[in-house]
Structure 1
Amino acid sequence: MALTVMTYNIRNGGRDSRGSRLDAITEVVTAHRPDVLALQELAHFPRDGGRRLRQLADAVGMRPHLVRSWLGGQPVAVLVRNAAAVISTGRIRRPFHHAAAEVTVATDRGPLTVISTHLYPFSGGRRRWEARWLAPRADRERMVLLMGDLNSLDPWTDHTERLRALAPQHRSRHLRRGGDVDTRAVQVLADAGFVDLCRQVGAADHTVPTGYAGHEFSRMRLDYILGTEPVARLVRSCRVGSGGAAETASDHYPVVASLDLTVG
């Protein structure tokens, strides 16, 4: 059993002053045909009885589970292609600026829990706290995927040049007091036992900006697919989905990974 998983920040609900980008977003998702999809920045999706969410979910042939923010941030969601495989749905009940949705699905290797989240963009200290709320999910005996826009640089890369290219007001989001690069959110999750799947297969490319927008970015990796050790042993590929419609659908590229869940 092969399972394709994908995370995608679609920027402000796929709509802004230029109009709707939902058709382009649908094209991106359809091109990768994920079995499980984590979405972030779903502004306006709960309105009109969730019409916009249903429109996207129906277009890509998936069943959605959306979680709203308690603090006025944007909703996140997990979408699943095989609705019959869903065991449970829920939210991580902490005061995230955005939210964290949690869905568990049945696979040939047992239950797989998938979390979609979007960490705080403006403060590394706040991101670290939100990462700490997620860290207990890193059960080394269970299959858990943590996917989303973590808004954090990783602790394994030299970020000097990409930070130098940013305007000071945007650079400050990624610096600690004293000027050190702030990678604490990803480090907290790694220390808890989550594995960076793209890094594991040597495909840790930048996820922002795209051709659409992103003046606050400079070829940075902010979107991740992390997994516990039982998941990391099964990853076969992980890549950033650049090119085509992804250049104009959002200011983030999607990240896509393939897991081999074959038994025997």
Structure 2
Amino acid sequence: MRVMTYNIKTGGYDGSRGTRLEEIAEVIGTALPDVVALQELRGDSGTWLAKRLNMRMVRARSSWGQPVAVLTNPDWTVLAAGPVARPFHHAAARVVVATLGGPLTVISAHLHPHWGWRRLHEARWLVNAVGRTRLALVMGDLNTLDPWTDHQDRLRALPRQYRARHLRWRPPTSKPSDRDVGKVARVDTRAIAALDAAGMVDLFRAVGEGAPETAPTALGGAEFSGMRLDYLFATPALAEHVRSCRILRTAHADRASDHYPVVAEINI
């Protein structure tokens, strides 16, 4: 089984400049995934991509942000599907598919873009959604830096308003000064740490190949400075079957979104 997570940036729409949907479809189609977690859907972009790729879609709507979805290969049997019923800023969608190893729960999530304390709550909701499930995979744009890396240089490279998204020593309305940046203890990594503390396995950290950064692509983005924000987390029983995990960097991926997709191979 091949799985992918992909933030497609504003549903692939660029206003009067047209869409990037063909490029997005090319990136996904070339990778031949069985399951795709999509974030930042808009309008009918999810429906268009599902039809173009001949995949089935389960979409979770958002009251404040942008919908997410899980696309599945029609050859896989879907046992259950629907949104994760929590007040996420964006959304989370859950699909359970039948595999030879047993039912596999796949969750596509997009955590809060601005406030670390909200991301922490949302990460805990994801942990609760997984519960005692033996085979589960949480994929998506988690908008959080990991707790195992020194992020000082990449934070210094960000404009102040975007740097504040990843720091935690003041209320979210406060504006940090330049002298406040630089100490790892102040980087807000709590959402990723919560998934790790719950026993979930960061697949790229476990078996990743190549550079870990997922944003920005050549399409750019002032809010990024060479950051890993997109993750695949698996339960330990599922992680035992993961063969590889990599960031998909291609010419099409450079133009299709401001995030690169992450792909993993699971022998299940």
Do both share a fold (TM > 0.5)? yes
Counterpart of 2:61, as a letter, is R
* Structure 1 runs not aligned, ≥5 long: 46-51
Hey, what does 1:66 align to over in structure 2? 59
Encode CA deviations 1:91-114: one digit per residue, 9 max, x unaligned.
Answer: 111100000000000001000000
* Structure 2 runs not aligned, ≥5 long: 171-179, 181-185
Superposition map of 1:193-208 within 5 A: 193-203=199-209, 205-208=212-215
Counterpart of 2:129, as a letter, is R
The change in CA–CA distance for 1:58 and 1:65 in structure 2 (over 3 A counts) is same
The change in CA–CA distance for 1:138 and 1:192 in structure 2 (over 3 A counts) is farther
Superposition map of 1:33-182 within 5 A: 33-45=32-44, 52-69=45-62, 71-82=63-74, 84-139=76-131, 142-177=134-169, 180-182=186-188
Alignment TM-score, normalising by the size of structure 1? 0.92
Encode CA deviations 1:128-172: one digit per residue, 9 max, x unaligned.
Answer: 011111112344651000000000000111111111110111100
Counterpart of 2:29, as a letter, is T
Alignment counterpart, residue 184 of structure 1, candidates 183, 190, 198: 190
Alignment counterpart, residue 223 of structure 2, candidates 216, 229, 236: 216
The answer to whether residue 11 in structure 2 is matched with residue 13 in structure 1 is yes
Counterpart of 1:195, as a letter, is V
Aligned-residue offset at 1:53: 2.8
Write the distance in 2 (CA, Å) between the matches of 1:240 and 1:250.
13
The answer to whether residue 248 in structure 2 is matched with residue 241 in structure 1 is yes
Is the 1:136–1:192 contact (alpha carbons within 8 Å) kept by the matching residues of 2?
Answer: no
Q: Helix, strand or coil: the match of 1:166? A: coil
Counterpart of 1:43, as a letter, is R
Hey, what does 1:49 align to over in structure 2? none
Q: Helix, strand or coil: the match of 1:20? A: coil
The change in CA–CA distance for 1:252 and 1:213 in structure 2 (over 3 A counts) is same
Write the distance in 2 (CA, Å) between the matches of 1:30 and 1:7.
13
Write the distance in 2 (CA, Å) between the matches of 1:226 and 1:81.
21
